[in-house]
Amino acid sequence: MMLKDKVAVIYGAGGAIGGAVARAFAREGAKLFLTGRLRAPVEAVAEDIVSAGGSAEAAEVDALDEQALDRHLRSVIDKASRVDISFNAVGIPNRTILGVPLVELDVEQFSLPITTYTTSYFLTARLAARHMIPNRSGVIMTVTALHSRTGIPLVGGYGPAMAAKEALTRDLSAELAPQGIRVVGLRPQGMPETRTIKEAFEPRAKASGMTWEQWQEFLASRTHTRRLMTLEEMANMAVFMASDQASGMTGTTVNLTMGSLDD
């Protein structure tokens, strides 16, 4: 087991990526503390894990609320005595941020993803680091998208938000790696099993006239494998990156775009 007895906190654990990462971490022996904006979806993931013999607790925590985050992580430390892995998988609905040309976009809609994604990642990473520094050990992780590195139309502030998160990953690592804490991101290609990717497709469909199937084929045609990534493949990489096997990886975002984005 690659994560045996590691204590992991996941933010946005009721979502597609958070839930898949939680299940994969549990399979590898981690003790999970799962959080999300609403309790029910997080509870469902925790119940799945526990019924499969794993260890998971669910809590309702807004990943933009500094005090709620602090209270929750203190309760984790009280129960498990430490935190080894912090994974921010928070995502806001694409329909609220995509689909409007930049020249027509109002500043609130432009700023929403930038503020939300960076603030949530900053708050959860800073808090985790404060508890990890005394142990000189820990891994801080998050997820971005290829919009961080390539120009894509009709995505508003989403690209700048993803680029900012990747910059924060590098900067956190520059400060924390000397203290034994690794900071790594994952940048997956779109995973068609998730509602997120369908929501991202909708504004594009209107503009391009493509069907959902044609759009998946278009994305897949840009990968070297000519297919899109599965949640399981992404989660397996998250396990490896969180494990001590990846002790040489920090200050970077793993390119999981299957060749559609050059390094």
Ligand X SMILES: NC(=O)c1ccc[n+]([C@@H]2O[C@H](COP(=O)([O-])OP(=O)(O)OC[C@H]3O[C@@H](n4cnc5c(N)ncnc54)[C@H](OP(=O)(O)O)[C@@H]3O)[C@@H](O)[C@H]2O)c1
Residue 157 and residue 144: Cα distance in Å, rounded?
A: 13
Selection from 41, 135, 123 nearest residue 86 by Cα: 123
Residue closer to ligand X by CB (options 145, 254) is: 145
Least distance in angstroms from the C-beta of 166 to ligand X: 12
Rounded Cα–Cα distance for residues 6 and 216 (Å): 36
Smaller CB distance to ligand X: residue 175 or 258?
Answer: 258
Among 7, 15, 72, 73, binds ligand X (CB under 6 A): 15
**40 binding ligand X? (CB under 6 A):** no
Count of Cβ atoms closer than 10 Å to residue 107 Cβ = 8
Among 86, 173, 194, 243, binds ligand X (CB under 6 A): 194
Of the residues 37, 131, 149, 182, which one makes contact with ligand X according to CB under 6 A:
37
Structure tokens at 187: 């940048």
CB 191: neighbour CB atoms within 10 A? 19
CA distances from 36 to 16, 87, 90, 103 (A): 12, 12, 8, 34
Specify the residue for token string 């991101």: 185
Among the listed residues 2, 8, 11, 73, the single contact to ligand X using CB under 6 A:
11
For residues 46 and 80, give the distance between their C-alpha atoms in angstroms, rounded to a whole number: 17
Q: How far is the CB of 215 from ligand X (least distance, A)?
A: 13
90-98, 123-131, 211-219, 245-253 -> range binding ligand X (CB under 6 A): 90-98
Instruction: Find the helix or strand (DSSP H, E) in which 42 lies.
Output: helix 39-51
Using alpha carbons, select from 79, 29, 35, 18 the residue that is nearest to residue 53. 29
Which tokens in the block code for residue 211?
């069907």
Measured from the CB atom, is 43 or 84 closer to ligand X? Answer: 43
- Of these, 8, 22, 63, 128, which contacts ligand X (CB under 6 A)? 63
Q: Which one of 22, 97, 128, 197 is in contact with ligand X (CB under 6 A)? A: 197
CB of 74 to ligand X, least distance (A): 18
What minimum distance in Å lies between the beta carbon of 135 and ligand X? 25
- Distance between alpha carbon 67 and the CA centroid of its chain, in Å? 21
* Stretch touching ligand X by CB under 6 A, among 59-67, 103-111, 204-212, 242-250: 59-67
Binding site for ligand X (CB under 6 A): 11-12, 14-18, 36-38, 41, 62-64, 89-92, 143, 145, 188, 190-191, 194-197
